[in-house]
């Protein structure tokens, strides 16, 4: 699925720090026109791309190229990871020599994620660089709740100093590529069983009958075998994966231009009852849905300088009735 990150012309990309504790799950398989870079700062993140599963720990630097379909399937509860994206125009403008030609590719090798693990001192330096580039950005709570770029809403990424951000992204792109070229990959892909790959596709296609029995039958396995296989290969039980996917759909439905009620969004997301939804939501956020939705802040910058420049932005308000 091609995803529109809705970046305005003033911005050559964006950068924010995603945190499991306040970043809604976004489990759909997708790709976008922009090059994506992740730096794992804490915990673990797990991606599926093609027929391979990859889990990355702290200090991992990883790249998702524009035509590379990828899906975030799991994160540890303490996970923190920087997410940067770079428009094709920035790459074209920044990369002229052969040393950077690899940044112009459309995809990685089949069933692979280009990555390296940084030395502690290099990781510390890069993290400080990223924090510096983010100065003047929107409030971290807002960026996390809008998944950085506002999937399915009218939210737009903003920064108090677009020119400074663009210059920082240019330097960050080239610096990280030099680190990648000098580093080595330490992870081997975990090849997914065809039945598990099929189940992930079915669930991602808005499969309404996503019960264990229905999925097992469609994938040609017994319920017991399929359940064990899915949990072993994906790293999370089917029930947890399915509920995270439903929770992601709930946020998508709630952010539609014509905003539904919470109950309508719950039903559209595929939850069997409000009680089931409430339990899943509370486990994910530590609060009930009304409290979380009503606490969405207005767009504000994270620095006093940025707040002076914020101007007028579209507020992705949500109805909580």
Give domain status of residue 50, yes or no: yes
Question: Is residue 277 a part of any domain in this protein?
Answer: no
Q: Are residues 119 and 99 in the same domain?
A: yes
Assigned domain for 153 exists: yes
> 61 pLDDT band (50/70/90 cuts)?
very high
CA distance 136 to 165: 9
45 found inside a domain: yes
Q: Based on the domain organization, do 159 and 208 belong to the same domain?
A: no
CA distance 167 to 90: 10
pLDDT in tens, 232-267: 888 788 888 888 888 878 877 877 777 788 899 899
Are 31 and 140 within one domain?
Answer: yes
Based on the structure, what is the number of domains in the chain? 2
Residue percentage of the chain with pLDDT more than 90: 42
Q: 24 with 172, same domain?
A: yes
Report which secondary-structure segment, H or E, holds 264. Answer: helix 262-269
pLDDT higher than 80, residue 303:
no
Tens of pLDDT along 186-228?
Answer: 555 677 899 988 888 888 776 556 688 889 999 999 999 999 9
Q: Which helix (H) or strand (E) holds 117?
A: strand 114-117
- Mean pLDDT along residues 114-136: 96
21 domain residue, yes or no: yes
State the residue range of the domain holding 227: 193-235
Residues 172 and 219 in one domain: no
Q: Is this prediction's pTM over 0.85?
A: no
Say yes or no: 220 and 115 in one domain: no
Q: Is 296 helix (H, G, I), strand (E, B) or coil?
A: coil
Considering the domain architecture, whether residues 120 and 162 belong to the same structural domain is answered as yes
Span 11-30, mean pLDDT? 82
Same domain, 26 and 156: yes
Stretch among 192-196, 298-302, 312-316 having the lowest mean pLDDT: 312-316
Answer yes or no: is 67 within a domain. yes
Q: Are residues 167 and 201 in the same domain?
A: no
In this structure, the answer to whether residues 98 and 136 fall within a common structural domain is yes
Question: Hey, what are 305's tokens?
Answer: 């300088």
40 and 58 Cβ atoms separated by less than 8 Å:
yes
* 175 and 208 inside one domain: no
């Amino acid at each position: 699925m091609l995803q529109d990150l809705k970046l305005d012309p003033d911005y050559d990309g964006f950068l924010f720090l995603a945190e499991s504790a306040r970043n809604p799950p976004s489990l759909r398989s997708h790709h976008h026109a922009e090059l994506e870079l992740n730096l794992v700062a804490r915990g673990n993140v797990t991606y599926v791309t093609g027929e391979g599963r990859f889990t990355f720990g702290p200090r991992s630097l990883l790249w998702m190229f524009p035509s590379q379909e990828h899906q975030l399937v799991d994160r540890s509860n303490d996970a923190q990871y920087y997410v940067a994206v770079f428009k094709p125009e920035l790459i074209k403008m920044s990369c002229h020599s052969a040393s950077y030609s690899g940044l112009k590719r459309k995809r990685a090798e089949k069933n692979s994620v280009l990555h390296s693990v940084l030395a502690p001192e290099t990781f510390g330096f890069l993290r400080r660089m990223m924090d510096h580039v983010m100065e003047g950005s929107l409030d971290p709570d807002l960026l996390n709740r809008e998944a950085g770029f506002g999937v399915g809403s009218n939210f737009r990424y903003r920064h108090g100093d677009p020119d400074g951000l663009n210059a920082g992204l240019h330097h960050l792109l080239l610096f990280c590529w030099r680190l990648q070229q000098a580093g080595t990959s330490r992870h081997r892909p975990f090849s997914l069983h065809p039945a598990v790959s099929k189940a992930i596709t079915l669930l991602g296609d808005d499969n309404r009958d996503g019960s264990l029995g229905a999925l097992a039958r469609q994938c040609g396995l017994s319920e017991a075998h399929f359940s064990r296989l899915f949990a072993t290969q994906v790293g999370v039980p089917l029930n947890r994966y399915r509920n995270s996917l439903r929770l992601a759909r709930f946020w998508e439905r709630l952010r539609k231009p014509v905003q539904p009620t919470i109950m309508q969004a719950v039903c559209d997301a595929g939850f069997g009852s409000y009680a089931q939804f409430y339990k899943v939501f509370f486990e994910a956020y530590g609060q009930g849905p009304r409290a979380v939705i009503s606490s969405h802040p207005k767009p504000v910058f994270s620095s006093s300088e940025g707040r002076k420049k914020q101007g007028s932005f579209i507020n992705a308000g949500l109805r909580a009735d």
